[in-house]
């Protein structure tokens, strides 16, 4: 099955995006989704440049705005699986209000956040997830903001699936992606992604030494308090499914919800008699 276009990826050699793309391909294969049965919404950034390489329905939107486009597609056609491919800058910076609100609404989309702790496409400025004091071209004396915590924010804002993966562990990441795609509701999969060009501290080796799998250690994703506690951990970085619960999705709760998606409803004859 054709999964990629004829355009060669333009990412730097060794970029975490290659691993993430590998996981996406394996996951779609595993779930048996053909390229026309799936929609990607791409944000702007190195991750979003994947738009040209993946063979599938896609919408390459504005910086920070992938999530509302994805939620709009889902409301229009709830039979389609929809995934937003976005970076830490777009998701937790420019588009944070969308992230929080759509999580609270349990919009049935997967948010695949490529978290490399920097703005890399704009040549390596600090991002919301950069550690306080990070020296970058926009913060030569060190960044002044405390770090944004994506997982804790997702949990307290009622996301119903919250997980973290690592771009250097493709089988593990693929498994998380399968679970995120099978989940009905707002799913955040935050991916620790080395940026080999601009982030010399957070290398593949560093991550391998500092991450551990919480599910292997017996964490129960139903335990919300424990999930929040794990999200706050910084000495070591937990990966795996932090939290999951089943709740009605946004589209299932709208007043005119029907099995026939809005996009397939006939509008050729509209009768206003009962309205006027």
Binding site for other proteins (CB under 8 A): 2, 5, 7, 34-37, 39, 41, 44, 49, 51-52, 55-62, 65, 67-73, 75-77, 79-80, 97-98, 100-102, 254-256, 262-263, 265, 267-276
Quick one: which H or E segment has residue 98?
Answer: helix 96-104
Residue of 95, 71, 231 whose CA lies nearest to 164: 231
- Asked if residue 212 lies in contact with residue 192, where contact means CB atoms within 8 angstroms, the answer is no
Residue 80 Cα distances to 128, 190, 247, angstroms = 31, 22, 19
Complex with other proteins: residue 209 or 275, whichever CB lies closer: 275
For residue 157, the minimal CB distance to other proteins (Å) is 12
For residue 121, the minimal CB distance to other proteins (Å) is 12
For residue 134, the minimal CB distance to other proteins (Å) is 27
Residues shown for the chain: 276
- Asked if residue 247 lies in contact with residue 106, where contact means CB atoms within 8 angstroms, the answer is yes
Complex with other proteins: residue 65 or 219, whichever CB lies closer: 65
For residue 168, the minimal CB distance to other proteins (Å) is 28
| Residue in the structure block whose two tokens are 């999200």 | 231
Complex with other proteins: residue 235 or 275, whichever CB lies closer: 275
Complex with other proteins: residue 108 or 117, whichever CB lies closer: 108
């Amino acid at each position: 099955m054709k999964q990629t276009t004829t355009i060669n990826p333009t990412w730097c050699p060794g970029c975490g995006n290659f691993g993430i793309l590998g996981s996406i391909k394996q996951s779609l294969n595993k779930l048996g989704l053909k390229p026309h049965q799936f929609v990607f919404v791409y944000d702007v950034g190195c991750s979003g440049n994947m738009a040209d390489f993946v063979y599938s329905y896609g919408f390459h939107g504005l910086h920070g705005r992938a999530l509302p486009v994805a939620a709009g597609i889902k409301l229009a056609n709830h039979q389609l699986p929809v995934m937003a491919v976005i970076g830490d800058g777009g998701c937790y910076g420019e588009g944070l209000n969308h992230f929080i609100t759509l999580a609270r609404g349990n919009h049935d989309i997967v948010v695949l956040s490529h978290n490399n702790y920097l703005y890399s496409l704009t040549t390596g400025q600090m991002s919301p997830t950069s550690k306080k004091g990070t020296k970058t071209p926009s913060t030569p004396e060190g960044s002044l903001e405390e770090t944004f915590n994506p997982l804790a924010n997702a949990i307290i804002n009622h996301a119903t699936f919250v997980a973290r993966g690592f771009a250097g562990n493709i089988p593990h990441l693929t498994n998380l992606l399968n679970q995120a795609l099978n989940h009905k509701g707002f799913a955040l999969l935050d991916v620790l992604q080395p940026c080999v060009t601009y982030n010399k501290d957070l290398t593949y080796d560093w991550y391998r030494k500092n991450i551990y799998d919480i599910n292997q250690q017996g964490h129960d994703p139903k335990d919300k308090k424990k999930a929040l506690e794990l999200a706050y951990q910084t000495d070591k970085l937990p990966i795996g499914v932090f939290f999951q619960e089943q709740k009605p999705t946004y589209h299932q709760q709208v007043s005119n919800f029907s099995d026939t998606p809005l996009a397939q409803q006939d509008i050729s004859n509209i009768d206003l008699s009962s309205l006027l």
